[in-house]
Each structure stands twice: as structure tokens, then as C-alpha cells.
Structure 1
């Protein structure tokens, strides 16, 4: 059973409404044909996304990795009914966020082909399917690590400066929305199925992930980020793969995976609150998706009629 995506969009918008500040036209870069809501000012000049397959829009297409989805039936509901490298039948959260903030309809992958100046100036995705907060997770999947994504971002900044000039570039960097969405693969693909992190119990492994996320946020701040949203781990124990391998005969939600996700989310929320106290002039937000998605799974009819 699938849920009507329109019923989920208000939740995405609500999670990011705190970042919305209408940007004066003089501070905006030129828009591409991919722009959203033509004729209205976007809430931010650009959207820049780091993470894993939840938000990857095609960076893995050219990588030597098994974490790929640039083949049918992926993309069957995407415009043109074609696979793009998004781990989805259509758009992914990166696209929805950019669209809802009025920036553009689709957020392209940084490693994608044919990116023009307007594409770069209004934001791209650095995420890589299979990546994790734990460096081992990215190695196991041959994905772009979190540090690798940061290096791509630094390369991106040089390109933006060359296109827009230093003053405009700095306005873009400081006014953009930065999104970090990682952790699911650490839980589902590293901690539980492999023997490599057994020296950690769930609380200590959650703490390792939290420290990695906080360190990355601090690096984004040093790079000029001022509006940063860090997305928590969803109820990963309820996805089909985890139900199958750890949910027993009834394929129930895997309790251990969900507990580790909650431990990480609780620790992350506390650390983001502390960062807000330590850094003035920033908007740092922990974005909880765990309970919203869990409620959608447990009470699907509250979110629209199912369709086949």
C-alpha cells in the first residue's frame, strides 16, 4: 500500500518553516528553468543537502558501488518516467524541500552532468546512497563519505565564487538552507548485520553517531552555514528489509534498530539545543521524522486514501 504523497507534504513544510525568511530580490542568484513558483521570491537563495539515499538525487550514478538505482523501475513516477539515481519512484525529500521553499522543483546532484551556473547558484545535493555518520558505513558501501561530501562542498564554493563573485557568493552561503540527513545506514547496514562495531553497545554507538553529526555541523558553520537542519533517523526497524531480517515470523518492526534510532535522535536533539546556546546568529534545528513516520505507518488512513 502506498500513501498519497500530497498528505505528507504539509509535514515536510512544517519541519522546515522555521528557516523561512523571504530573501530580497537583489540578494538572489539567477534562476534556472527548473525554478519553482515563478514570480515569487524564494525563502532561501539555495538548498544544499548532505546525507544518504534518503536525499541522494543521483551522485552514486558514476560511482563503483552496489548502492545504485539508475535503472527501472526507479523513477517510474518521475517526470519522463525515467530513473535518475534517486532511490525512489519519484521525487525525494531534497526535491520537496527545494520546491516548498520556492527555490526550484528538483535539486540536482552535484556530480550530475550538465549543471549550469543557475543550477549551482540555487543549490545541489552532495548526498550519497549508503553513506553514514560512521566512516565505516561509507566504506562498506563504497559511498561518498561525510568528509568526502564536505570536500565536494568546498569545491562547489569555489565554483560559486567564480560564477557570482565573492560578495554575492557569501550572501548565498550564509543565506542558504543546509540539510544533513544521515544515520539510517549506520543502524541497518553496519551496527546490526556486521561484526565490526560489536565493541559498542547501542548507547555508545548512538553517541559515536551523534559526535560525528555535531562535528559536521560545526564544520558547516566554519564554512559559512547559518541555517542548518539536521534530520533524525526514521523508524528504520520498520522498513521491509529490517522487518524481514530481524522482525521474526510476523515481520514486525525490529525493536533493536528502532531503539538505536531513538537513542541517536534523543542525543542529537540535546546537542543541537546546546549548539544553539553556544552559537549566536545561527538557526540550528533538529528535525524529528521518527514519530511522524511511525504514526503514518500505524495510522495510514489519517494521511489520505491508499492507492494501488
Structure 2
């Protein structure tokens, strides 16, 4: 099941190349932007509680190293990069250990806890998505110095997969956990604002040469362990899931608009909501024993023995096995 799903994603993304550049058979790089679903360690040196560079995080990572990834092992950005044959692990751009030799095959700019709403990032002291664009510009400067050929750099960026996960924290933290936001904006109005910010963000990357985008929808936020603990783990929060569905529908529509409006680009929407919800509702069918978290929550103060039997690693993040399972 896991390997099959990875292969399906690889096939899906490979279709882009045949549509846009028939002569090119592989992707040059993976560049990841957004939140903790993709973050591989950009928060490690920030003054924030949104960090994963301590045990038991990274427990199943090579050499049991807590790298700053929000999970027990590899996260989604690593799995996509590996599945596409680009590289096994996607390094964090802000890592002091980043090697120049890694630049040409891609890096991660994502920041755990971040979002499209600047307030989402500022209240946690993490890297707002528009500031990630600034990091991308610095990356381009370093890449030009490393490659020494502007035309080659342009080709690398045009053939890179731009992986984006943004909106999870805006809805789960900023909107549904902030009464003032709910009083001031309806779900429809707030998600419209998110789409506006997302459009600005994608346009910024496109203007810098990015052409192949994989845009992730949000997870079923009302079914995350942190949300379900409010009801004693009995049910998912229907209002939060409703907000996620409203937003995801708008993201999918935005992707369609981009494909019509920018024929030189290729945009695909990745449904994380329904694929993960299916696993949460039927864990045993996918090789899991429970949808409860393995560690790091009030429900599991002591980490479980086998993270592979849990859909979730902690209160909000799927386990590595779950990421492999839900990839479309």
C-alpha cells in the first residue's frame, strides 16, 4: 500500500513534464514551502515553542536524530523528494549544516506553525510564508553562485517541484482558536482572505521562475488528536472540518484557475483531507491499530512502543507511515 501510493504520486507529477517539456524526463529539484507538514528543521534556531529538534521527535529517523522534523521520522517533503528520485532527504534552508552541493536538488523553506495569515506566524515566532519567499530569493543568489550559469539556474527552478502546504494553522489556530477572528469573519470570509494571500504567495514564486506546483489541501483539522481531545476523543469537531472543506474547495478551484490562466505553468491539487480521513476512520484497513497519537499529547504522556501502529505521531502530525499511506 505505502510503496504503491508513492509510485502513484510519482506518476502524477511525471505527467507534468510530458505536458510542459516533453524532452525532459526527470525533475531537477524539490522546493517546499509552508508549515510543519513539510518543515525539515527551519525552526531549530528560532525563539519559538514550535520546534521538533528534541527527543522523542526523530525517534525513527536515521541514527535516531531529532532534526526538527515534526514527526517520528521523515515528513512529507522528504517522501516526495525520495519518491521522485531527487534525493532521500530534503534539507532545511536555514540549517547551519546545509551544504552548497545540496542547493541544486532542492531545499525546504517551510516553517512549523506558519501560515498565510501573518498573524499565524507572528504569534508563534515562526517564518511567515511571504518571508519564506525572501528566503527563496536568498537561495537563488546562493544557487547562482554555486552553479555559475544563470540559464542553468533558470532551468533548475523551472523544472523543480514546488510543494506547498499552507492553511492548516490559519484555520486550526488563528481562526477556530481565536474568538475575535470568528466574531469578525465568517468561515467564508476568512477562507476568501486565505485564498487572496495564497494567490499573492504563488504569484511571487511564479515571478521568480517556479513553474510546477503541487498544492496541498489541509488535513481534516477537526479530526486531529488535539481537536478530538476536546470531546474526549469521541468525535471529530464538525465546525473545524467544515472550515477545512470550504478552504480546500477554494484551493482546488484556485489550482484550476491557474492552469487555465498560466499555460506555461503546471498546477496540481493534492487532497490530503479525504485521504487522511479515510485512514482515521478505518485504521485497521491500512495497517494501523489506532488513530490516537503515539506521543507528546495529554492522551499519551509516555510515547508508544511502535509508532508505525499509530496514524498520528503527536497531537497534530501524522506518523511517517501515515504520510506514506495518504499520498495520493
Is the pair's TM-score, using the shorter chain for normalization, greater than 0.5?
A: yes
Counterparts of 2:243 and 2:7, CA distance in 1:
27
Tell me whether 1:139 sits opposite 2:122 in the alignment: yes
* Alignment size in residue pairs: 283
Give a deviation string over 1:283-302, Cα, whole Å, max 9, x none. 11111111111111111222
What is aligned with 2:29? 46
* 8 Å contact from structure 1 (residues 42, 102) kept in 2: no
Task: Classify the secondary structure of the residue corresponding to 1:68.
Answer: coil
Task: Classify the secondary structure of the residue corresponding to 1:59.
Answer: coil
* 8 Å contact from structure 2 (residues 36, 69) kept in 1: yes
What is aligned with 2:225? 240
Give a deviation string over 1:62-111, Cα, whole Å, max 9, x none. 00011011110000000001100000000000100000000110000001
What is aligned with 1:96? 79
Counterparts of 1:158 and 1:250, CA distance in 2:
48
What is aligned with 1:32? none
Q: How does 1:64-79 map to 2 (within 5 A)?
A: 64-79=47-62
Give a deviation string over 1:128-180, Cα, whole Å, max 9, x none. 00101111101111110011100000000011111112121111011100011
TM-score normalised by L of structure 1 = 0.87
Tell me whether 1:292 sits opposite 2:275 in the alignment: yes
* 8 Å contact from structure 2 (residues 91, 107) kept in 1: yes
* 8 Å contact from structure 1 (residues 13, 97) kept in 2: no
Tell me whether 1:271 sits opposite 2:254 in the alignment: yes
Which runs of 5 or more structure 1 residues have no equivalent in the other structure?
1-6, 24-40
Counterparts of 1:17 and 1:197, CA distance in 2:
41
Of stretches 170-179 and 114-123 in structure 1, the one that deviates more from structure 2 is 114-123
Task: Classify the secondary structure of the residue corresponding to 1:197.
Answer: helix
Tell me whether 1:168 sits opposite 2:152 in the alignment: yes
Give a deviation string over 1:176-203, Cα, whole Å, max 9, x none. 0001101111111111111341311111
Runs ≥4 in structure 1, deviation > 2 angstroms? 7-19, 248-251, 304-308
Change in Cα spacing, 1:303 to 1:249, as seen in structure 2 (3 Å) is closer
Change in Cα spacing, 1:305 to 1:131, as seen in structure 2 (3 Å) is closer
Give a deviation string over 1:244-291, Cα, whole Å, max 9, x none. 23xx24531111111000000001111110111111121111111111
Could you tell me how far 1:11 is from its partner in structure 2? 3.1
What is aligned with 2:170? 186
Counterparts of 1:125 and 1:174, CA distance in 2:
17
Which runs of 5 or more structure 2 residues have no equivalent in the other structure?
18-23, 290-307, 310-328
Could you tell me how far 1:305 is from its partner in structure 2? 5.4
* 8 Å contact from structure 1 (residues 75, 84) kept in 2: yes
Residue of structure 2 aligned with 1:17, choices 3, 7, 11: 11
TM-score normalised by L of structure 2 = 0.82
